[in-house]
Structure 1
Amino acid sequence: MRRPFRLVVRGILALTAAAVAVFFLPYSFGLLPERAFDAGCTAGRALGTELACYRFMWNTVTVGVFIGIIGPLIGVFLVHREMALIGETLAHTAFAGVAFGTLLFAASGWDARLLLVALAAAVIGALAVQELADRTGSYGDVPVAIMLTGSFALGTLFIDLGGGFAFVDVNSYLFGNISITDERSVALMAILSLSVVAAVGLCYKQLLFITFDEQAARVAGLAVSRYTVLLVVLTALVIVGAMQILGVILVAAMLVVPVAAASLVAGSFRETLLVAVVVGELSVLGGIALSWTAGLRPGATIVVIAIGWYLVAVVRS
């Protein structure tokens, strides 16, 4: 990367890290004083917007910031290992979990309980995908397609068993909804994000090794299967958290598109990771703001903006 561009990337990352530490993490666990909300609402009105006056928007932006970090963080490993479709598969598995959760709790809105059931389903799906991949020798199209379509079909059957599609707001799960994220879901998302960042930080070298030379990693005695399972399970965590805003159909885009854009302008794996996080944050925050002002679906708006950044990177490269 050229030096000015590198400075911009580092500046955005520094601002993001400071905002997460000072604001978003305390907010996630209910530690932010009430006067902070009043100050934010007053500042927003001064700028001509009521965006900061609604608590559900604070929830959405907080979850969005976490998605912008952990989506590309995991996606950069998936893309370089040619496992991009795993995200889409686990999204459909998580949808089956949400549908099953509605049977258990008779809930019509998203809450932390549905997140937990979706998380359990996604993790089970992740382990099942890994088992299928091991038995077939690769992450081929057949096992992935079977898990993807089968889990979505299972979710549809759960919804029918619970009283049909009127039983839940299916569109919220398929396409995302900025108004369904409650405080408990935000706290769970913060915990998931901290877990993902910590796991990648502790196992970064091992994940990097198996990403670029799996055969050499096996020769060196590295437990490749164990770290592959870890990567797939971390993907499940990201998918479940991002479903709230992006929805099942679009959630995998945050694992792939920012990384694809970053790969065109970065000169190394580490730079790709950092630029991908910046693209992810700009896409999520820009998409939330535009969806609010224009009355658009947040998931679709975020993905279109991310693809816009990708096209900019294509032109620049």
Structure 2
Amino acid sequence: MSWADVWEAMFGGLPYYGEILALVSNSVVAGAVLGLVGGLIGVFIMQRDMAFAVHGISELSFAGAAAALLIGVDVVTGSIVGSLVAAGIIGWLGARARDRNSIIGVLMPFGLGLGILFLSLYNGRTANRFSLLTGQIVSVQSDQLGWLIGIGAFVLVGLVMIWRPLRFDSLDPQSAAARGVPTTAVSFAFMLLLGLIVAVAVHIIGALLVMALLVTPAAAAMRIASGPIAVPALAAVFGVVSAVGGILLAIAGTLPVSPYITTISFAIYLVCRLVGARRGAP
């Protein structure tokens, strides 16, 4: 591939940028919602050491979306069902970290295998199959946008409602249990909220790269901040910048959106890590 081909792939759409942006406005809105909610929930993912769980849930979400694509029903519904099944199993059986990691290790190849099977049986457009793995900026249709925004709003409200007990349980589960916090119920509710937002992430960035918006922004924020307000606020900002910035860059060419989102997210993390190191952060 020549440099001219690379330039065309990355910036060939610049003369038509305004028209393309109008076509993907739904995805920009959905990406902003995902970045905001993903950054906030990512703080608890990091505090509870559950980054591995995000990937496990995304694999079954991918399987559910692939099954929906195969039988001709709404893909968002399929991914939600797959995510909630995975989140429920992990939340129910994985109370301890060792058990949780074992369960996730079993679910991941099972979900990925099912997804590949369903996609192999699907005879429709190849782009539809590829988008479930790596994201597709034009995959969010008008009828789906309401669902995605509604899911994001529901997760956000749910997080606000359980914020204090969830934070207590995330930082010191033994003390939280001793103080009467219903840790089992809080953990299960958190897993269901996580499953819902993962289902949204699959449609923006793809099943393979959801951690770029649900883990990396929070990890970056925790390198340069430590307060109970500063960390979630920064994580939300980093998530929105990564998601929306990636989409706005991707529409200038023909490349998938996921490399842009993951690159921006990773660059933010590197900068925060360097800043944290200069400040003497661990």
Specify if TM > 0.5. Answer: yes
Q: 1:167 to 1:278 in 2, by over 3 A?
A: closer
2:23 to 56, 59, 62: 56
Rounded to whole Å, the distance in 2 between the matches of 1:52 and 1:163 is 32
- Structure 1 segment 1-317 matched on structure 2, within 5 A: 50-51=17-18, 55-105=22-72, 113-134=74-95, 138-160=98-120, 162-163=121-122, 169-317=128-276
Q: 1:233 to 1:270 in 2, by over 3 A?
A: same
Cα deviation for residue 143 of structure 1 reads: 1.4
Q: Structure 2: where are the runs of 5+ without partners?
A: 1-13, 277-282
Contact persistence 2:217–2:238 (CA under 8 A)? yes
Q: 1:140 to 1:176 in 2, by over 3 A?
A: same
Residues 217-266 of structure 1: CA deviation (Å, up to 9, x unaligned): 11122211111111111111111111112001111221111011101111
Q: TM-score, normalization: structure 2?
A: 0.87
- Moved beyond 6 Å, runs of 4+: 164-168
Cα deviation for residue 50 of structure 1 reads: 3.2
Rounded to whole Å, the distance in 1 between the matches of 2:217 and 2:97 is 29
Rounded to whole Å, the distance in 2 between the matches of 1:116 and 1:84 is 24
Q: 1:298 to 1:167 in 2, by over 3 A?
A: closer
Contact persistence 2:66–2:129 (CA under 8 A)? no
Contact persistence 2:37–2:155 (CA under 8 A)? yes
Letter in 2 for 1:267: S
Question: Percent same amino acid among aligned pairs?
Answer: 25
Which is bigger in relative contact order (C-alpha 8 A, separation at least 6)?
2
Q: 1:242 to 1:216 in 2, by over 3 A?
A: same
Contact persistence 2:53–2:101 (CA under 8 A)? no
Question: What is the aligned length?
Answer: 263
Contact persistence 2:21–2:251 (CA under 8 A)? no
Rounded to whole Å, the distance in 1 between the matches of 2:182 and 2:49 is 19
Q: TM-score, normalization: structure 1?
A: 0.78
CA RMSD of aligned residues (A): 2.1
Rounded to whole Å, the distance in 1 between the matches of 2:119 and 2:24 is 28
